[in-house]
Structures are given as structure tokens and as C-alpha cells.
Chains A and B, each alone.
Chain A
Amino acid sequence: MNRLNFPDLGIGVGLRTVHFSHILGSQPDVDWFEALSENYMDTGGRPRYVLEKIAEQYPIVLHGVSLSIGGTDPLDFDYLRKLKSLARTVNARWISDHLCWTGVSGRNVHDLLPMPYNAESLRHTAERVRVVSDFLETPLVVENPSSYVEFATSTMTEWDFLASLAEESDCGLLLDVNNIYVSSFNHAFDPNVYVDAIPADRVVQVHLAGHQNHGTHIIDTHNDFVIDEVWKLYGRACARTGDVSTLLEWDADIPDFPTVHAEARKAEAFREAEVAYAAV
């Protein structure tokens, strides 16, 4: 158990529109679902109806892409109010978003733009995480992003930044092992060092996904199966965290639900093996 006392929900799948009918019709044996917050906050239509039906039968976690926790525009409390309301409606077990910014001057670029890792960013982001957690009345869970640039103004590694952020803001961490792999390729660092440095007792959840390797760089596309190197990182993370809620994301070229679910289920073997290994 992590120090935030969020439970291990088992192995979940990212809830996607193309799977709505299958899930409602066949009620698959999935431990939990993660829903993209912004897709359900502003709609009274079918997506919201389906999410509420699914929430009656499965644990739900809300995962956002527009909080802009690292942004320098003021926090959007209209957004936060809607997020909090949705979380209550679907009894969200926790709420997560990314260590990133998504736009400034009132604009939204709709991308998870990277932060420079230095003292100013840390102070700024930690303060905003505290404000958001207080407003939501639950500790925010922050995910490590994938990135394609490094800033000249960075003075610390991403893993040191995240560890400090968690300590200073008392947030949880969503460890995306695919993002670690993607960034390690793009920035030429050892992903094992990253996994080993993360404060394991802060890790509430792990993300898995596929990506596209362009030779010179990797893009985090969520459009394929998880590669072996990422599974190994996952096993390494599990050995440190123990049983931890795990979720597979698949956002483009999405196959049928049984295929996605089967890919997610591969995590069981890694979890059990690595936990057993860690206990020896």
C-alpha cells in the first residue's frame, strides 16, 4: 500500500468510446477503468450516461489532460469545479493529471508540454498541486510525461524533480513506465535509474502503453502493444512498489476490447513474478 492509502485496484483498461457497446453488453471481467476527465465533464449525452452506468459496476479513476498543473496561467477553478463534481458522481477512487503545462495566455495547445526541471518550476508546481489537492479534497496524483525536448534551464533530472514534488506537495505519483522508456530514448538516460529513484511509497498507479519508434526519436502514440523493454521496466517498478494499480492505455488504432484487455492482463505475470522475486 502506498502512503496515500489508495488501494490496489488490480489491472484496468482505459475507457474508450469504441468499446462502450462491448462493455455495456458483455460486462467484461476487468478490475477497473480509467476515464479521461475532459471527455465527460461537459456533456450530458451518451458518453456521460455510459460512464455513469459503468461506474455502477466498476471502480473508476479520472485521468486528466488539461489541468496544466505546471502552467503559468491562473488555475481554472471552473474546470476544477466540474472535475470535482464528476469525481463525486462516478465515485472516482482518485484523480490524476500530468506533470506538464497545456497552454498560456488563455490558450490551450491540447498537448502535454514539458517543464524545465529547476527550483522555480518546482516551487511553482508544488504550490499549485497543493491548491488543487485542497480544492478537490483528495491528493492529486501526478504522472510523469513523455517528452521530446530538454531545456537549457533544467538543473535537475525528471525523477529528482518528481520525487521533490511529491515530497513538497504530498501528492501521489502515477508512474508511466512507457513514458519513462520514451523519454529515456529521446534524452539518452538509463530508464532503470529513473525507476529506482522514484519514491515507491508515493506510487499510486502505473501506466502501460505502446509507442512509435522513428529511429532518431520515439513518439508516445499509445497505438500499439507494449514492447518487451517496457514490460521489464514494469516488472522492475513492481518489485519496488509491490501490488499497484496498473492500467493499459490504447488511444489510436484501437483494436477490439478483448485484444486490449488481453494485453493489459499480461501485467499479471509480471506483477506476480516480480513481487515474488522481491520477497525472496
Chain B
Amino acid sequence: MPQSDVALAPLQEWMQAVVTHPSDVYDAAAAAEIAVDDVILPSQTLQPIQRIGIYHGMYMLRMIEALTVDYAAVAQFLGEHAFEHLVRDYVQQFPSRSYTFNRLGDSLPEYIASSSMKRRTFLRDLAKLELAMTHVFDEAEAEPLPADAIASIAPEEVADARIIPIPALRLLALDYNANDAFQAFRDERPMKPRRQKTWLAIHRRDYGVYRMPLTREAFVFLESLAARETIGNAIEAFNRRFRRFPEQSELFLWFRDWSAAGLFTAIEAK
């Protein structure tokens, strides 16, 4: 193609295809519809392929760096080489489509789960945990309810009341002990992941992100509240699941702990 015919839009399509090609820049150039030498001029020291190769090399480094920040524990458990391989494959299927890097890793847990990687269920759970922490970090701020607010609901209004969670709350049900694995990563000590049903509330308080382990029963009840069910409906859902109603003492302890952690921001009473 004559050089003067490469208009702006096709030039940008061409350059993006070369820069983001998963293989090396020579394979990228071979796959492109326009020859590199027809588009890029040589410099005094570099050939056109070497010049565009600078952008090609930096592209993947940026993707790896961004996902290493969001998935530091996954990266550590996988090892540098395997993680880079994962990122190369992942960004081919889920390239960034946002003006912010914050959304780049949103599909990584599902991608890992659908892969043929070894230990993929554990790595998916660890990725889900890290993604939840990232989301909670960035969520909107909301004033938590005072610790005694729930206790002050009139008894006749309790069943129909809704307890509104803060935006910075995520609930996770995991198949592996990913929370222990994350803590081991933080503590820089080795640990062997094992299958263990785990329930967590990931939440933010005073701009810090916390991981709160839950029992299965507490998780089910809190999940109903987070779905904006009334307290009465949450109790009914609990009963359907466990064939018993939550004990008064259970409810007291849950609401006490969750209020102290600032998980709720409002009460909607009828």
C-alpha cells in the first residue's frame, strides 16, 4: 500500500494490532496487513520494526504490572513465569475496555475457573478474594450506623425493617481456604492451600479494607440482608435453609459484631 494512503483510522487500527499482538513484534508485523516499513520511518539507530517494538514490549509489561498490583497473592502463588503467561492469555480474551486500569482484572476469577490450570479452583477463590478487596477499596464512602442503632428499632417494627449495607461490602463463599492463603502471603510465610468451605465479608472501615470470617449461618443471614430483604424475610430464608430459626443469642452477636464493624449505613423501617 502506498504510504500516503494510510489514513488516520486504519493507521491506528494497524498500530494497535501490532502493539497488542500476543507473540513477539516480528510475528505481529508478519500478521499485519500493512508492512511496518510502509508506516514507520527508521531512525539513525533503530529500524522501523525495532521502533514499534518499543511500544509492543511496553504494552505487555503494563498489563502484567497492573494485574500484579490487583492480584499480588495470585501472582505469588503462581510464580512469576506462570503469572505472566496467565496475563498474556487473559488480556487477549479480556483486553482493557475502560479508561481506568481498575476494571482490567474484573474477569480474571472466571477466566481462571474456565482454564485448564493446575489448582484452578484454589486460584479462582484467591482471585475472587483479591478482586473483592479491590472493589471494596474503591467503593463509595457511606457513614456507618451507630453501634446501638439496630437495637433501638421498636420491637413491633423489627420484622419489616431493612438494614441497608454500606456500598463497600462484598460477601464471598469459597471452596478453599483462600483467606488463610492471603494472610500467609501477607505474612510472607509458606502455606499449603486446602479444600475448606470458607465464608467471608470483605468490607471497608475508615478507608481500610478488612476480611471478616463468617460462619455459614451468619453468611446466609447477612446475604439476605445485603440483598435488601427485611429482617423477617431473612429469618424465614434462614429457616428454609437450615430447618431452624436463628437463636436470639446468634442474632444478638451477629448484629453486635456487624454494627461494630460498620457494615450497615441505614435502617428502613415500615
Contacts and interface: CB of A to CB of B under 8 A. Distances in A.
Contacts of A187: 43
A150 B40 contact: yes
Interface in A184-222: 186-188, 215-217, 219
A45 B11 contact: no
Interface stretch (B50-58, B122-130, B247-255): B50-58
A116 B54 contact: no
A217 B39 CA distance: 19
B50 to A, nearest CB: 8
A45 B138 contact: yes
Interface stretch (B12-20, B77-85, B172-180): B12-20
Interface string B1-22: 0011011110111011001100
Given A104-B12, A105-B16, A124-B8, A44 B62 contact: no
Contacts of A279: none
Interface stretch (A106-114, A224-232, A264-272): A106-114
A135 interface: no
Given A41-B100, A104-B12, A110-B101, A217 B54 contact: yes
Contacts of B11: 116, 151, 153
A223 interface: no
Given A49-B207, A111-B62, A187-B43, A120 B16 contact: no
A225 to B, nearest CB: 22
Contacts of A71: 12
Contacts of A280: none
Secondary structure type dominating chain B contacts: helix
Interface stretch (B91-99, B112-120, B150-158, B211-219): B91-99
B1 to A, nearest CB: 11
B19 A109 contact: yes
A83 to B, nearest CB: 9
Interface string B44-84: 11101011101100110011001000000000000000000
B33 to A, nearest CB: 15
A38 B45 CA distance: 35
A115 B8 CA distance: 8
B138 to A, nearest CB: 4
Contacts of B207: 45-46, 49
Contacts of B62: 110-111
A72 B15 CA distance: 13
A111 B3 CA distance: 24
Contacts of B203: none
Contact of B8 (A38, A108, A120): A120
Contacts of A76: 99
B204 interface: yes
Contacts of B102: 42-43
Interface in A57-87: 66, 71-72, 76, 79
B93 to A, nearest CB: 12
A76 to B, nearest CB: 7
A121 B7 CA distance: 9
B97 A151 contact: no
B4 A103 contact: no
A149 interface: yes
15 contacts: A42-B100, A45-B137, A103-B96, A104-B9, A107-B95, A107-B96, A107-B97, A109-B96, A149-B40, A149-B48, A149-B51, A150-B41, A152-B38, A188-B44, A219-B54
Interface of A: 38-39, 41-46, 49, 66, 71-72, 76, 79, 101, 103-111, 113, 115-116, 120-121, 124, 148-153, 186-188, 215-217, 219
Listed from nearest, the 10 A-B pairs whose CB atoms lie closest are A44-B140, A66-B99, A46-B207, A216-B45, A152-B3, A72-B9, A43-B138, A148-B54, A108-B96, A150-B41
